Amino acid sequence: MPDPTMAELHELYDVTFEDAHLTAEAARARMADYDAMLCTIGDDLSAAAFEGDPKCGLIANYAVGYNHIDVEAARAAGVAVTNTPGAVTDGTADIAMTLIAMARRRAGEGERLVRRGEWTGWHPGDLLGWSITGAHVGIVGMGRIGKAIAARCHHGFGMEVSFFNRSKVDDPGMPATQVEDLKTLAAKVDILVLAVPASPQTRHLIDAEILGAMRPDAHIVNIARGDVIDEAALIAALEEGRIAGAGLDVYENEPDVPEALRAMEQVVLLPHMGTSVMDVRLLMGEVLLEDLRAYAAGKQLPHQL
């Protein structure tokens, strides 16, 4: 984490830092010894991690997504869980726009062409992509991040915005149409952007049926969690040309990215860098420190799940 965050952590606690992801067994062993634990999305905090009688009373999650934590098992073991809502919104929305632009304009292909030394100069028919300005974007999940993406699409690129959300959204913050059926949304948009939290309900939300509804000139962008898409179904749709391309920042079995995806020119692949901005990292640290200070003082946790 950034130096300022680490410095403040050392002022609050006797800190042990481990630069490795924890297995459930390792996490359980740590929770037997420590009062609080700050974790990341690579740590396995499934139900097995909370077996026994942990001394630890707080898991402070250095992320907004918490599908790696069994929150119910934590509560049953008397362990509170917090996360960083709001802190990651702008950074993640920005990376969604990066993926939209790269996928629609085939920027990844062009960059690789130049790096390989194979570019022979400008030709009018080379690397023809698809428009961004004025395109129709469909956003799956209209929470903080979904709304931030929608605002960028509408105000920045004049896009028509439609969205799917499990509950009614009264004020999306800009002109936008809520679509009641996900398959209907997938069929009508140029770009489908996934911004839902990971949960058992959203796992493989985008399956072969939804991908099959998309147009052959449409793109899909995922900045949510990898398992929101059925990766095998996505690979099939891309290989068969049933959709034009994809922009992915997350994967179903991170850090493993299927060779089939890595081989595809029409797919933009980023290494889960939606929040990789120093300002965002510092803000995430500030949010966590609020909870860690409150826990140390025996006060209510501001961001408890």
Give pLDDT tens digits for 91-138: 999 999 999 999 999 999 999 999 999 999 999 999 999 999 999 999
Residues facing residue 267 across a β-bridge: 246
pLDDT at residue 96, as a whole number: 98
Q: How far is 145 from 147, CA to CA, in rounded Å?
A: 5
Q: pTM to 2 decimals?
A: 0.91
Residues 6+ apart with CB under 8 A from 241: 216
pLDDT at residue 145, as a whole number: 96
Ranges assigned E (strand) in 109-251: 136-140, 160-164, 177-178, 191-194, 219-222, 245-248
What number is the average pLDDT over the span 40-47?
Answer: 94
Q: How far is 261 from 155, CA to CA, in rounded Å?
A: 32
Positions annotated as catalytic residues are 225, 254, 272
Q: Is the pLDDT of residue 40 over 90?
A: yes
55: helix, strand or coil: coil
For tokens 């304009």, the residue is 105
Q: How far is 224 from 277, CA to CA, in rounded Å?
A: 17
Tokens representing 74 are 């934590």
pLDDT at residue 85, as a whole number: 87
Domains of the chain (ranges, CATH numbers): 3-87+277-296 (3.40.50.720), 89-269 (3.40.50.720)
Q: Is the pLDDT of residue 19 over 90?
A: no
Q: Is the pLDDT of residue 24 over 90?
A: yes
For residue 73, count CB atoms less than 10 angstroms from its CB and return exposed for 0-12, middle for 13-18, buried for 19 or more: middle
Percentage of residues in the chain with pLDDT exceeding 70?
Answer: 100
